[in-house]
């Protein structure tokens, strides 16, 4: 048994995936926590006296995030108020069970918990959405709705920051995905440790430089309770490819994860590149790069029996909406008489025709 490389005199019990150092349990805890503390202080993630909502799914990342933030807050006197915010997507056999874990964390870590549900916000559970759309594209709905639900929850709680458990592997995967897709706008912002949700509540990622394998190790040795089952619906296929590629590269050289993040951070998008400008959704007032945000388009598709609306290209969306409008509008109450633009970019549709649509309030 080798000695702990931190020279504490104890035997090492693990090899750190990130650095290869052989460490004892206590020295691993210290190294792990100090690195998160360094990330927080170097990026000046939090101002003292503020409130942080921790986006808590019950999974390993957000559970470790909640535990470490509580520990560092006390140890280094950040003077933060920590609360948990969970989104119930309405996935039977998955989220219902993971929310039980979050409730346990709420009690163990003594943090208030707010749960917001897709059913209340959008009128649909993911179970119902999958029954409509099938298993292939359901991740699009879930991702778009969750992002917005978290921002809405943060606004409701009037917190100053929203912290998510995104780890180094997640960020590196996202860099790869955006390169493969040629998505410059996302590539430009995906490595930011602080992002603006558009509503003035910054999103922060304190685990940005923490390897997933180390999070699992930390949770294991700290005996943290977390929920480890995969989502019962199909995983995000494209991200899956990036994940497999990253895991293969990590086996050859673990520093590849940090190298990809650092490369992403150093990239500067050419100023002549066509970048979207952020505006407010004309329907729900949520930040969007289109006149109507993606969540409202997806929701309209669901409510009008066109669940694939918003899944494909925007030109296709536009065509489907136009066709749908033609079908719905009779000649005497044509959209035009109500000054309606037949265009998803400027959806000001006949309000009487859309009265049944469950717009996000």
Ligand X SMILES: Nc1ncnc2c1ncn2[C@@H]1O[C@H](COP(=O)(O)OP(=O)(O)OP(=O)(O)O)[C@@H](O)[C@H]1O
Please identify, among the stretches 51-59, 260-268, 306-314, 334-342, the one whose residues bind ligand X according to the rule CB under 6 A.
Answer: 51-59
Q: What is the side-by-side order of every strand in the sheet holding 194-196?
A: 113-117, 81-88, 51-55, 161-163, 202-204, 194-196
Please identify, using beta-carbon distances, which residue of 16 and 95 lies nearer to ligand X. Answer: 95
Q: How many residues line the site for ligand X (CB under 6 A)?
A: 15
Instruction: Give the burial string for 312-340 (b: 16+ CB within 10 Å, else e).
Output: eeeeebeebbeebbeeebeeeeebeeeeb
Q: 162 has which bridge partners?
A: 53, 203
Q: Is 149 within any annotated ligand binding site? A: no
Segment 136 to 155, residues that bind ligand X, using CB under 6 A: 146
Half-sphere exposure of residue 360: CA atoms within 13 angstroms, side-chain side: 29
Contacting residue, 127, 160, 170, 250, with ligand X by CB under 6 A: 170
Contact mark string toward ligand X, 95..134, x via CB under 6 A: ----------------------------------------
State the Cα–Cα distance between residues 4 and 2, nearest whole angstrom.
7
264 near ligand X (CB under 6 A)? no
250 near ligand X (CB under 6 A)? no
The DSSP letter of residue 351 is T
Please identify, using beta-carbon distances, which residue of 140 and 282 lies nearer to ligand X. Answer: 140
∠24-254-171 over CA atoms, to 5°?
105
Cα 165 from chain centroid? 8
Please identify, among the stretches 12-20, 106-114, 165-173, 322-330, the one whose residues bind ligand X according to the rule CB under 6 A.
Answer: 165-173
57 near ligand X (CB under 6 A)? yes
Q: Is 330 within any annotated ligand binding site? A: no
Please identify, using beta-carbon distances, which residue of 229 and 279 lies nearer to ligand X. Answer: 229
Residues that bind ligand X (CB under 6 A): 55-57, 59-62, 86-87, 89, 146, 164-166, 170
């Amino acid at each position: 048994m080798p000695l702990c490389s931190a020279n504490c005199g104890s035997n090492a019990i693990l090899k750190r995936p990130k650095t290869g150092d052989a460490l004892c349990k206590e020295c691993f805890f210290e190294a792990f926590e100090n690195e998160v503390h360094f990330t927080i202080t170097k990026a000046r993630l939090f101002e003292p006296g503020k409130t942080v909502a921790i986006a808590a799914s019950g999974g390993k990342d957000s559970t470790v995030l909640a535990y470490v933030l509580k520990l560092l807050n006390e140890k280094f006197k950040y003077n933060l108020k920590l609360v948990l915010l969970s989104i119930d997507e309405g996935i039977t056999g998955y989220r219902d069970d993971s929310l039980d874990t979050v409730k346990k964390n709420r009690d163990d870590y003594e943090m208030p918990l707010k749960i917001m549900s897709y059913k209340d916000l959008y009128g649909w559970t993911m179970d119902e959405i999958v029954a409509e759309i099938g298993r292939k594209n359901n991740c699009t709905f879930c991702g778009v709705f969750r992002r917005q639900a978290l921002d809405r929850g943060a606004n409701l709680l009037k917190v100053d920051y929203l912290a998510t458990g995104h780890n180094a592997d997640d960020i590196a995967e996202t860099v790869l995905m955006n390169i493969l897709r040629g998505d410059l706008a996302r590539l430009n912002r995906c490595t930011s440790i602080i992002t603006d949700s558009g509503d003035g509540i910054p999103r922060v990622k304190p685990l940005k430089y923490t390897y997933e394998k180390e999070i699992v190790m930390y949770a294991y040795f700290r005996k943290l309770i977390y929920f480890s089952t995969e989502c019962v619906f199909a995983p995000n296929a494209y991200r899956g490819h990036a994940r497999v590629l990253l895991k293969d590269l990590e086996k050859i050289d673990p520093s590849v994860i940090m190298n990809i993040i650092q490369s992403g951070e150093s990239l500067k998008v050419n100023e002549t590149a066509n970048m979207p400008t952020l505006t407010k959704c004309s329907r729900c007032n949520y930040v969007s790069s289109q006149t109507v945000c993606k969540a409202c388009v997806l929701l309209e598709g669901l409510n009008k029996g066109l669940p694939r609306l918003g899944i494909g290209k925007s030109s296709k969306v536009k065509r489907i909406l136009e066709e749908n409008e033609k079908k719905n509008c009779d000649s005497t109450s044509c959209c035009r008489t109500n000054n309606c633009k037949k265009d998803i970019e400027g959806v000001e549709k006949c309000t009487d025709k859309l009265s049944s649509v469950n717009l996000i309030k």
